[in-house]
Amino acid sequence: MTAGADLDYNAARAALEWLIELGVDSAVLDEPVDAYALPETLNTPKPAAAAVASQGPGPRPLPVPEAGPDPVAEARRAAAAAKDLEALREAIAAYDLCELKKGAKTTVFADGNPKARVMIIGEAPGRDEDIQGKPFVGRAGHLLDKMFAAIGLARTSPDAEAAFYITNVLPWRPPGNRDPEPAEIAQMLPFLARHVELADPDLIVLMGNAACAAALNKRGILRLRGHWAEAFGRPALPMTHPAYLLRQPHAKREAWADLLDLRARLNARAP
């Protein structure tokens, strides 16, 4: 790998985890290793193994790992204790039981007008979001802003009727921008549910598979998109992620139809 020096922390970690999964257990050494000679060097038991063998025959009890806190239960407790959005932001930033936090630069909480009638839920931060600490600020974010501007909504609008509020299922960037794992979604779901409760939007937009998995317990965004469902007690519209639209421009026609449907639903529910 000639570009190793250009890898950031998350990309390097993802590459290392991939190698370990493939079975690599040694680094490249200065001298070649004769793998056929290794079994002879392993015949001598290590002191710990010899000590166990000296205790006599019979099965040895496996060590029991020390029990730690239940990550989901702790997330529920912390989320329920948050009385407003700022308290929820602090609770998420203080939550240390998700491994993703260790590799992230920032905790990405939300952006936009929290009083907006529309709340968009994305998947997870990418590289640009991890650097800036805001959701949807890269190429996909720029496209998202243009999409919603076309129906009269902007994250920067102070008017709740003309604004949207945006967050992600996960507040920390997964290594190598991989998809969120089910266990990670389950850990952060109590925070997301509380986020929706505190923001209290009229309508929710679920951007991509991870958002649908968290809010609807369903996947298959190309099948789900365009069909209204209920998430967190509110009408929710699954839509294809802007990153997908960048790769598949032909899908923008369907995304435009979804946006028009969202606009019509907003108008029908106007206060």
Q: What is the predicted pLDDT for the residue at 11?
A: 72
Closest CA to 135 of 109, 153, 155, 117: 109
Per residue in 70-125, pLDDT (tens digit) is: 999 999 999 999 999 999 999 999 999 999 999 999 999 999 999 999 999 999 99
Domain 71-268 falls in which CATH fold? Uracil-DNA Glycosylase, subunit E (3.40.470)
pLDDT at 2: 45
Residue 222 has pLDDT above 60, yes or no: yes
Return all residues near 143 (Cβ < 8 A) that are at least 6 apart.
242, 245, 246
Q: What pLDDT is attached to residue 269?
A: 84
Position 24 scores a pLDDT of: 62
Q: What percent of the chain has pLDDT over 90?
A: 73
Residue positions counted in the chain: 271
The answer for residues whose C-beta is within 8 angstroms of residue 104's C-beta and 6 or more apart is 10, 125, 130, 172, 173
Average pLDDT of the chain is 86
**pLDDT per residue over 123-143, tens digit each?**
999 999 999 999 999 999 999
**Each residue's pLDDT tens digit, 173-203:** 999 889 999 999 999 999 999 999 999 999 9
Judged against a pLDDT cut of 90, whether residue 209 lies above it is answered with yes
pLDDT of residue 260: 98
- Centroid of chain to Cα 210: 7
Q: Domains of the chain: which residue ranges? A: 71-268
Q: How far apart are the C-alpha atoms of 217 and 215, rounded to whole Å? A: 6
Q: What percent of the chain has pLDDT over 70?
A: 77
pLDDT at residue 48 greater than cutoff 90: no
In sequence order, the 6+-apart residues with CB closer than 8 A to the CB of 4 are: 12
What is the distance between the alpha carbons of residues 243 and 78, in angstroms, rounded to a whole number?
32
Residue 251 has pLDDT above 90, yes or no: yes
- pTM recorded for the entire structure: 0.75
pLDDT value, residue 124: 96
